[in-house]
Amino acid sequence: MSFNIRHLGLIRTAPFGTNLHVGFYTYATVDLAATVLAAGYFNDAREKLNQNDVIDCVCAADGDGERVKVLVTAVPATGNVTVAVDTDTSSA
């Protein structure tokens, strides 16, 4: 299967600075986590996503689901949108 933009839901945005924000999304798919993490998977969401947005994904939702939280690392005008696993490395 491939990315389905209708399954990407914006929960809220967190403003910071002047006219800047971070978006927090949910996404569910039957695709495996490895597929979702591949460069280019979110290309069809280029107009919605920004660098540093967070997407909480449920992968393999039609079976033994796997939850993975990703951080959008790049949204270039051309080329692949890239994401990385958000490892929650805060020291709080």
9-67 pLDDT, tens per residue?
999 999 988 888 999 999 999 999 999 999 999 999 999 999 999 999 999 878 888 99
pLDDT of 92 reads 52
pLDDT of 63 reads 86
Residue 73 — very low, low, confident or very high, per pLDDT cuts 50/70/90?
very high
Residue 87 — very low, low, confident or very high, per pLDDT cuts 50/70/90?
confident
Task: Mention every residue, 6+ apart, whose C-beta is less than 8 A from residue 19.
Answer: none
Tell me the pTM. Answer: 0.89
Each as own residue / partner, the long-range contacts of residues 59-65 (CB below 8 Å, 24 or more positions apart, any chain) are 59/29, 59/31, 59/32, 59/33, 59/35, 60/29, 60/30, 60/31, 60/32, 60/33, 61/28, 61/29, 61/30, 62/30, 63/30
